[in-house]
């Protein structure tokens, strides 16, 4: 009997990762959830790790291959929201976003890609954001890290095809997850960070349900899409930004005025 396909999902204890892990398990995929915290999910393996540790990620990815004899999907999804007006941000804000959102993805790719090359198959799916495609103000460290994840993923996809390995990048708009209530975790307070959920609702209207996004992602993965952008409003914003980059910056500047004028100087 052939062993079931496997998936390794970082940030799988909450939000998008949790919905992905649940949907994959329902399809009969053997899922390993990797997160800072233990997930309350049944029927899945889990490993508590911090994606900022290259060694921890590498050893967890290797363990999936060893246990099941195959590594089909790696979802580099763990991430944190970091935001505030640029002048309020400390270097810790910048470094933390880069460490978790970019280095976390790098560590997953670095661990999984050689294994997938050796197998001659596998699919790496990195979670970036709409903030990786359009100018997203008031969250510069986040935006910078997510643009990097988009660039990394698209370029890797071009290389990986020759090895039979697939790479996709997910760029969601605002999704209804705990991330929006927990911006700047362990970092200095900023008012914009504290109001992330309100700002998201103001920017997008209704927040997109996480289960709908997970279904969109798995459909995109099955079709081997390079870029998976959802919901439809995010695809529209992305298209508009490509048509007129300067128009997108003007729209972003207007959004700042609505969402959060700069803090007053004392």
168, β-bridge pairs = 125
171, β-bridge pairs = 229
Q: Which position among 6, 17, 147, 218 is part of the footprint of ligand NAD (CB under 6 A)?
A: 17
Binding mask 217-236 for ligand NAD (x = CB under 6 A): --------------------
- Give how many residues touch ligand NAD by CB under 6 A: 29
Distance between CA atoms of residues 243 and 72, nearest Å? 36
- Closest separation between CB of residue 245 and ligand NAD, Å? 20
Binding mask 56-75 for ligand NAD (x = CB under 6 A): --------------------
The token pair that represents 167 in the structure block = 């790479």
Place of tokens 């870029």: 227
Range 75-114, binding ligand NAD (CB under 6 A): 77-80, 100, 104
| Residues that are catalytic | 142
- Closest separation between CB of residue 158 and ligand NAD, Å? 23
- Closest separation between CB of residue 35 and ligand NAD, Å? 5
- Note the residue count of the chain: 266
The C-alpha torsion from 243 through 132 and 206 to 220, rounded to 10°, is 90
**Residue 50 engages ligand NAD in binding (rule: CB under 6 A):** yes
Judge residue 258's burial from the number of C-beta atoms within 10 Å of its C-beta, 0-12 exposed, 13-18 middle, 19 or more buried.
exposed
Give me Rg for the CA atoms of the chain: 18
Place of tokens 């050689």: 114
Q: Which position among 175, 203, 214, 248 is part of the footprint of ligand NAD (CB under 6 A)?
A: 175
From the list 49, 42, 40, 31, the residue with the least C-alpha distance to 13 is: 40
Which residues of this chain interact with ligand NAD, rule CB under 6 A? 10-11, 13-17, 35-37, 50-52, 77-80, 100, 104, 127, 129, 172, 174-175, 177-180, 182
């Amino acid at each position: 009997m052939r062993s079931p396909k496997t998936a390794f999902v970082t940030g799988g204890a909450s939000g998008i990762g949790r919905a992905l892990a649940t949907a994959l398990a329902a399809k009969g995929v053997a899922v390993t959830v990797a997160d800072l915290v233990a997930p309350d999910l049944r029927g899945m393996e889990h490993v508590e790790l911090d994606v900022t540790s290259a060694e921890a990620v590498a050893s967890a990815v290797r363990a999936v291959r060893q246990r099941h004899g195959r590594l089909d999907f790696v979802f580099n999804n763990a991430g944190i929201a970091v935001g505030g007006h640029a002048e309020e941000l400390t270097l810790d804000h910048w470094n933390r976003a880069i460490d978790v959102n970019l280095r976390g993805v790098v560590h997953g790719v670095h661990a999984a890609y050689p294994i997938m090359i050796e197998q001659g198959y596998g699919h790496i799916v990195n979670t970036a954001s709409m903030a990786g495609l359009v100018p997203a103000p008031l969250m510069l460290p986040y935006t910078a890290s997510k643009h990097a994840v988009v660039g990394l993923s698209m370029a890797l996809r071009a290389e990986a095809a020759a090895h039979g390995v697939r790479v996709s990048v997910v760029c969601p708009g605002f999704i209804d997850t705990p991330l929006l209530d927990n911006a700047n975790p362990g970092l200095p307070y900023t008012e914009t960070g504290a109001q992330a959920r309100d700002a998201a609702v103001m920017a997008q209207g209704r927040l997109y349900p996480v289960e709908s996004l997970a279904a969109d992602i798995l459909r995109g993965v099955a079709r081997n899409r390079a870029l998976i952008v959802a919901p439809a409003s995010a695809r529209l914003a992305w298209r508009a930004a490509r048509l007129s980059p300067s128009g997108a910056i003007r729209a972003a500047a207007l959004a700042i005025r609505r969402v959060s004028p700069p803090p007053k100087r004392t």
